[in-house]
Amino acid sequence: MTVASELSCFASADGDLAYRDTGTGEPLVLLHSGYADHRVFEDQIRVFAAEYRVIAPDVRGHGWSANATRPFRWADDLGALLRHLDLGPVVLVGLSMGAAVATDTALVHPELVRALVVSGGATSAFEYTDPAMLAHVAESARLLGAGDVEGWLDHFARGVAGPHRTVDEVAPDVVRRLREMASHTLAKHTPGETDWYVPLDDPWARVPKIDVPVLAVHGAVDAPDSIAMAERLVRTVPDGRSVTIEGAGHYPNMEQPDAFDATLVEFLRAL
């Protein structure tokens, strides 16, 4: 069975958006990181579909979802999908960019959200202050602008390792899977194309209004800025807390899936 054959499609106002929909029970929505797709949560889809209805979308412009041809917001795409599926309120679990999708959705469509779990990010107003992270982001943009796909993929892999490790210290299968996903997403785009994504205006000022439980799951060796954004979120909302997973960087769900899953189960059962 191919990946595409496992996916459903939602006909949005600007092309088809792909998503995995499996299992039965309370809805659990898994939102992947940038340049990747729903397969970031392959381990969690398999585990949680035994008890929950798991929805794992490909964000617009990623995986098997259509590229944008007009302005769009992540939160509106997800809100439209959830309403199409007649779901809500749901638990949103977001990793990195997916954390921003989840948090923005809680701000724009609060009636659709029951709880939030974020890892490696928070709102769509990304906050980078560490010189090493700023340099990494700048180099990523340079390589993409130059169309140097292989150079960018190597740079991306170094980002997976984070500032405290080398790529050789990350499980090879994790790096391979992420490179494969990123290659697939990059193949959908061309250097210099129009970026139609529209971020929310000053989302941090609205974060205190999030009145659902929020959990941040930190990878212990993730980049400091990534941890700081998620930690700021849980310290700003009325009901927030954080958990740190040892031996993991920016992708704790892939590097330490058992620990990540156990943390998520504990949070879900307390709701």
Residue listed under structure tokens 């923005």: 104
Q: How many CA atoms lie within 13 A of 188 on its CB side?
A: 19
Contact 112, 84 (CB under 8 A): no
**Which pLDDT value is given to residue 5?**
76
Q: Give the pLDDT of residue 1.
A: 56
Q: How many Å apart are CA 1 and CA 48, to the nearest integer? A: 21
Mind listing the pLDDT tens digit of every residue in the chain (271 residues)? 578 779 999 999 999 999 999 999 999 999 999 999 999 999 999 999 999 999 999 999 999 999 999 999 999 999 999 999 999 999 999 999 999 999 999 999 999 999 999 999 999 999 999 999 999 999 999 999 999 999 999 999 999 999 999 999 999 999 999 999 999 999 999 988 999 999 999 999 999 999 999 999 999 999 999 999 999 999 999 999 999 999 999 999 999 999 999 999 999 999 9
- Per the CB < 8 A criterion, the answer to whether 67 and 40 are in contact is no
Contact (CB, 8 A) for 34 and 40: no
Q: What is the pTM of this model?
A: 0.97
Contact (CB, 8 A) for 203 and 125 = yes
The pLDDT of residue 2 is: 74
Sheet holding 90-95, edge to edge: 8-12, 15-22, 53-57, 27-31, 90-95, 113-119, 214-219, 240-245
CATH number assigned to the domain covering 4-128+195-269: 3.40.50.1820
Q: What is the DSSP string of 1-49?
A: --TGGG-EEEEEBTEEEEEEEE--SSEEEEEPPTT--GGGGHHHHHHHT
Closest C-alpha to 60, from 31, 89, 28, 84: 31
Q: Which of 12, 97, 86 is nearest to 53 (CA)?
A: 86
Asked if residue 113 lies in contact with residue 105, where contact means CB atoms within 8 angstroms, the answer is: yes
Q: Quick check: helix, strand or coil at residue 216? A: strand
C-alpha radius of gyration, the chain, whole number = 17
pLDDT of residue 192: 86
Q: How many residues does the chain have?
A: 271
